[in-house]
Structure 1
């Protein structure tokens, strides 16, 4: 049975039914080439502007390399670190800056070559242009390659691989058992009737969409937000899908007609990591949103994906990823909440700014969008009384268009008054000490101290940002 996201849209067909992962890859190409320079508008990561994930990774890497060197005797061998999907370059810049600071004797940092890997040259160019990467130019290289085959990188040559919120972009199928068969989700794209009416050369648009002809598509109105998808479910063609036995065995643990993500792109990165990691390497880390909880995976109402600016972003089935890592011969697998990894590095409890905002009594649909902007800025201003970043940056925070003029002037003034070494982003980690030191200021904004304490020690959510590590 086909279903429409918007049955009233009277959509106009622009493509045939294909497996979900094929249309996902198609859309990713269009999204990054049409909207790559606006990425922050649609999607932010924990490394877009914040530094704490990068610092935790640098401290963890330094500690493990020093421990390995001590066990083996003084080491001088070069160390190759890969970052797959480097985004705007902030994680790389903060990783190298912190590694240099903590490596006071110069035993690790001078040996590191940090390689940015991406399949889009424009992404690599933007990452390399990050101003905080400039002091590390002699340590940084860029590699244009897909993450399932990093061409030019030799077998067993890499010591550390990091990817942050990359897996959710990679090809993913949705599969379910149905009456003894395994089916997968197929999609067919349509364009909303309202946008169709504005396009004069319809056949030209359809041809450009099919061919991913970016230059021609730029001559048409923006369309990614106006796609309407039909869905149906068909029997899996296993000749086109790797790891059939492992996937089918896993699905035996899932109830009938419950869709689960099969993150084929993530599996491909594990296979490539297995090829690249040197004997005794520190290992491969992936950070992403998902779950390893079988009870959550068995929930028919769980959110398998979201859409950002027309792009599909999938939750990660960490339970199956772990099975696949072991199948591929990778060991030392650990899965932990990302905030546990950050907190362990800082030796304290941490929450995200988004978690903090969610505890405010007026959070959610009660507020107008511009009122939410005001709450965010007031919260950051309060936190900045104690928060001190090692980096000087202007907070990027585009204000809502529709708000009273006097409020816009007030909020713009507040934004400009924020200190440059304060909270760097709306997606950022905060420590228990920072919350404690600013508790009175936060109370003035309307936060309840007891609720904050509960948030700091709350168990992980059903779908959480997790850290997956293997060697």
Structure 2
């Protein structure tokens, strides 16, 4: 297949300067992830926000779901204990109401999901039957990430039951088999090891990458050989002495035959690829496969189960589209689409049960008893979006929309919204927008991807119409089908 650059070179005469050799995508993915989180981990929200960075509704949905499932299970166990000689009864079962409940969160980010989950679970548990038994375990491969998560202010009241484990989620060696009740992760699978495979003439090939800097950027680095050594060796302290470079990486790619000795689930992958046309690139999320295998090992037989929330698709028509987006770039880091259809096939191979896939919006709305959409979904309904307007005009619309929604939106948490205004915004407009931002209440909309409910939208509709929103368009967006690549909830049980 033809070799080409993933990142456009600004100056055609400035030749890329190689930083390493061609290696499989998943090798360089892991390499860059390490550099990104060590160099920019504290700036993550400057490059992208997750649905749990500041918002609370996904956490509340998880808490409501967990409380309901544990309560139902406890009632069944209690009923069995009333008839000790009944079929299948076991008075010493780990699921008795007295047993500890280990809840694991993989990739806890800034700690907001943990804080909101535990706070809402405590509020729901009025009789104290579930929350006191919970042991909440934060899992991340980076120790500083765990420290940052534990430092979240709203996690402070719950710290007595919060523990940390520095480990790869694919290798939880210190966790005994069958000891965990609940596992969830948010926007983690897209960062785990992923290969990009393609079928060609009966053979399977995978994408290999080579990192470069263009000549202009390389010229700004006096000690080039020292920089290359630091890059290859992931010498973070040394790299901090050089100019920032993650945004300036140029990736060349080429294709080589898959070395199957390094790829698990070969039969499942090759069977899946029979439904994919030749020369169509497909994500193969090896890290997600390995994490599912580990989840099956550590989950108790009667566990509530595993949940992953991530951007991807289970639609074979989308996966067979040669123009689908297999990855995106954020601050130098590559994030891969999650191939939920293939993951579902691997889950079946592993013997996992009750495998289900639903949109994240469906999960949040159903567990909270309402319909939801994000602020970004709402903004996309405005007639101005998609027309020829200046970007700063969209910023102005966003700020005014947030102010309007805040009349009906009441969060149980205080979060200061971070919304940097564009420098090209006219001074008068900028002052007005800045004034609105400064006046926003602390328990209002926390960020631009926060969930808002149908009730909140309905109450704010008259004011939204003054801003140009049309009621019919908003209602259509609330019931819109999933996009080709959407945020999904993948769930299963052991």
Tell me which interval the TM-score lies in, with the shorter structure as reference length: over 0.9
Question: Does 2:314 match 1:292?
Answer: yes
Secondary structure at the residue paired with 2:393? helix
Question: Does 2:219 match 1:197?
Answer: yes
Question: Does 2:98 match 1:76?
Answer: yes
Cα deviation digits, residues 162-191 of structure 1 (max 9, x gap): 000000011100101001100000111110
State the alpha-carbon separation in 1 of the partners of residues 218 and 391 from structure 2: 29
Q: Cα offset for 1:328? A: 1.1
Question: Does 2:188 match 1:166?
Answer: yes
Q: Cα offset for 1:358? A: 1.1
Q: Cα offset for 1:318? A: 0.3
Q: Aligned ranges for residues 364-383 of structure 1 at < 5 Å?
A: 364=386, 366-383=388-405
Does the C-alpha gap of structure 1 residues 169 and 367 become closer, same or farther in structure 2, counting only changes over 3 Å?
A: farther
State the alpha-carbon separation in 2 of the partners of residues 167 and 360 from structure 1: 32
Cross-structure match for 1:25 = 30
Question: Contact conserved, 2:47 with 2:331, CA < 8 A, in 1?
Answer: yes
Cross-structure match for 2:87 = none
Cross-structure match for 1:149 = 171
Q: Aligned ranges for residues 56-455 of structure 1 at < 5 Å?
A: 56-73=61-78, 75-364=97-386, 366-455=388-477
Secondary structure at the residue paired with 1:123? helix
Secondary structure at the residue paired with 2:407? coil
Q: Cα offset for 1:150? A: 1.8
Secondary structure at the residue paired with 1:372? helix
Cross-structure match for 2:44 = 39
Q: Cα offset for 1:345? A: 1.5
Which runs of 4 or more aligned residues in structure 1 lie more than 6 Å from their structure 2 counterparts after TM superposition?
Answer: none
State the alpha-carbon separation in 1 of the partners of residues 134 and 447 from structure 2: 28
Q: Cα offset for 1:406? A: 2.8
State the alpha-carbon separation in 2 of the partners of residues 368 and 156 from structure 1: 56
Deviates more, 1:85-94 or 1:419-428: 419-428
**TM-score, length-normalised on structure 1?**
0.98
Secondary structure at the residue paired with 1:206? helix
Count of aligned positions? 471
Q: Cα offset for 1:217? A: 0.7
Cα deviation digits, residues 13-54 of structure 1 (max 9, x gap): 111000001000000000000000000011111101000000
Cα deviation digits, residues 85-130 of structure 1 (max 9, x gap): 0000000000000000000000000000100000001110110000
Q: Cα offset for 1:252? A: 0.8
Q: Cα offset for 1:365? A: 7.0
Cross-structure match for 2:86 = none
Deviates more, 1:18-27 or 1:149-158: 149-158
RMSD value, Cα: 1.1
Deviates more, 1:281-290 or 1:238-247: 238-247
Q: What residue ranges of structure 2 are gaps of 5+ in the alignment?
A: 79-95
Cross-structure match for 1:3 = 4
Q: Cα offset for 1:240? A: 1.2
Q: Cα offset for 1:374? A: 1.5
